[in-house]
């Protein structure tokens, strides 16, 4: 593929190369929540030294084209179908999923017979139907000091700390009460599907978590 234009660089494409240049071996990236290809430029630059081209999916743009309600298994299925409808995934040899993109990465990889491996970066256990790790989050205490989330996660951004606190209380980030929460059966169905795909993965799966992980 070296010397060709990047797969997915056509106008309106949902999957585009993180960095410009000739194509190498294509790896498909599904970024985490509120992340874009720009966040992964240093990784793409590093991988390019080994002849790898990192292609990033525009998950926000893909979701905007979906009709199924957010947080449902139907939405996950529609996201996967739309991504698979792009030309780039068919050539990907590795699929990388970060955080909220991890379950989608497993589902996409399961549909691509040419994928040789899957990398999950900071996956969230509950997204696969597994019990999340226990922590001692205290609601409302984002700052430093005994019992505060900042003490346990010194490198985390404020938005990440709010996400951790919401998870500790069983609430989606930014939602004030359980009355507005997506029904647990919808959450469970979506997670169960991703969990089954992970358990039945044909390609090797590598999970990466940092020592100073924010989650």
pLDDT value of residue 115:
95
42 part of a folded domain = yes
User: How high is the pLDDT of residue 67?
Assistant: 93
Q: What is the pTM of this model?
A: 0.73
Determine, yes or no, domain membership for 144.
no
Domain count across the chain: 1
| Mean pLDDT to the nearest integer, 159-167 | 68
Please, what sign has the CA dihedral across residues 132, 168, 80, 97?
negative
**Domain coverage including residue 57:** 15-131+184-208
pLDDT 10s digits, 70-105: 888 899 999 999 999 999 889 999 999 999 999 999
Decide if 28 is inside a domain: yes
Quick check: 210 pLDDT over 90? no
**CATH number of the domain where residue 77 is located:** 3.40.50.1820
Q: What is the dihedral of CA 161, 39, 105, 108, to 10 degrees?
A: 140
Domain assignment present for 201: yes
Q: Which residue has the tokens 């491996």?
A: 117
Give, rounded to a whole angstrom, the gap between the first and last alpha carbons of the chain. 37
pLDDT over 70 (residue 148): no
Average pLDDT over residues 2-7: 47
Residue at 165 is within a domain: no
| Nearest residue to 167 via CA among 78, 100, 96 | 100
């Amino acid at each position: 593929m070296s010397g060709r234009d990047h797969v997915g660089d056509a106008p309106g494409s949902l999957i585009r190369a993180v960095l410009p240049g000739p194509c190498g071996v294509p790896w498909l990236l599904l970024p985490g929540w509120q992340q874009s290809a720009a966040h992964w430029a240093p990784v793409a630059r590093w991988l390019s030294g080994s002849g790898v081209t990192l292609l990033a999916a525009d998950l926000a743009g893909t979701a905007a084209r979906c009709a199924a309600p957010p947080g449902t298994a139907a939405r996950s299925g529609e996201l996967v179908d739309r991504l698979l409808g792009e030309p780039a995934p068919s050539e990907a040899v590795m699929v990388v999923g970060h955080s909220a993109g991890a379950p989608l990465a497993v589902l996409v990889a399961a549909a691509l017979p040419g994928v040789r491996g899957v990398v999950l970066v900071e996956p969230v256990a509950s997204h696969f139907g597994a019990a999340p790790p226990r922590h001692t989050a205290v609601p409302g205490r984002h700052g430093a000091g005994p019992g505060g989330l900042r003490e346990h996660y010194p490198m985390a951004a404020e938005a990440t700390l709010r996400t951790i606190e919401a998870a500790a209380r069983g609430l989606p980030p930014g939602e004030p009460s359980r009355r507005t929460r997506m029904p647990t059966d919808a959450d469970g169905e979506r997670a169960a599907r991703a969990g089954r795909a992970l358990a039945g993965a044909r390609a090797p799966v590598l999970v990466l978590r940092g020592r100073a992980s924010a989650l």
